[in-house]
Amino acid sequence: MTKPKLPTVQSPLLASVPGLRHAFFTRNGGVSRGLYDSLNVGRGSQDEPADVIENRARAAGWFGVDRADLNTCFQIHSTIAIVADGSWGDARPQGDAVVSKTPGVVCGALHADCAPVLIVDPEARVVAAAHAGWRGALDGVVQAAVDSMVELGARPERMVAAVGPCIGPDSYEVGLEFFARFEADCPGSKRFFKPGKSDDKRYFDLPAFVLDRIETAGIERREWIGRDTCAEDEHFFSNRRAVLNGQKDYGRLLSAIMLEG
């Protein structure tokens, strides 16, 4: 199978792991048009289904596998982690993390401002892809993914994790009620906030918070690749940017990881 030349962003930490493929895909290299131009992989979007199918096939092809081997969930901002020991095909189980120790099975997370988290234990040969929006990150989706990996023989101290393109700390302005919820549910979270444009607003650092959750789960080797989905229109889809621009919908990005056979 010819590997499509799709633009991707790579994590230096994950790229250093032998026998592993990973990609934080951009919005480019697909067939979708209009608001979804061009690599929209979101089956829950209002894009043409045939275009989404083709885009998913291209992303799977980048890994050298068939579209059926690209496993992603019907994401519900939960802490549900699902083990994939084979290909799901067109199935979309509800959850927000996909975990596997099966070579050739792609674990993927869809996002458009939320933080995608890719994790590997190089020794146990277990991988995971998690979708961590503010709610999932706060409730514990990263811990759920790590716990599921541990059940397959992995150990947090051996894991390597990367946070992909997501809304950046200078783009995520929130209200005081948002700030108050974090302080109530996760005391000490105020360090992830800074003053907003007015007294009743704050800027929230989602990638820093997710990195903290990764550390709390026991993973020392971790990084954010430093790309802001909201600020980089040419490269990434963004839910917040779509709302600010009055758009009716938006495309979904894909971040994915796979063990080589």
CATH code of the domain covering residue 250: 3.60.140.10
Q: What is the pTM of this model?
A: 0.98
What percentage of the chain exceeds 70 in pLDDT? 99
Determine, yes or no, domain membership for 183. no
The pLDDT of residue 4 is 72
Determine, yes or no, domain membership for 212. no
How many separate domains does the chain show? 1
226: left (phi over 0), alpha (psi -120 to 50) or beta: left
The pLDDT of residue 130 is 99
Determine, yes or no, domain membership for 207. no
Which residues have CB under 8 Å from 29's CB, separation 6+? Answer: 4, 5, 6, 7, 38, 39, 58
Determine, yes or no, domain membership for 185. no
- The whole-number average pLDDT for the span 149-165 is 98
Smallest Cα–Cα separation from 254: which of 100, 143, 148, 112? 112
pLDDT for residue 261 is more than 90: no
Segments forming the whole domain that contains residue 122: 8-166+223-259
Determine, yes or no, domain membership for 24. yes
The band of 3, judged by pLDDT with boundaries at 50, 70 and 90, is low
Determine, yes or no, domain membership for 178. no
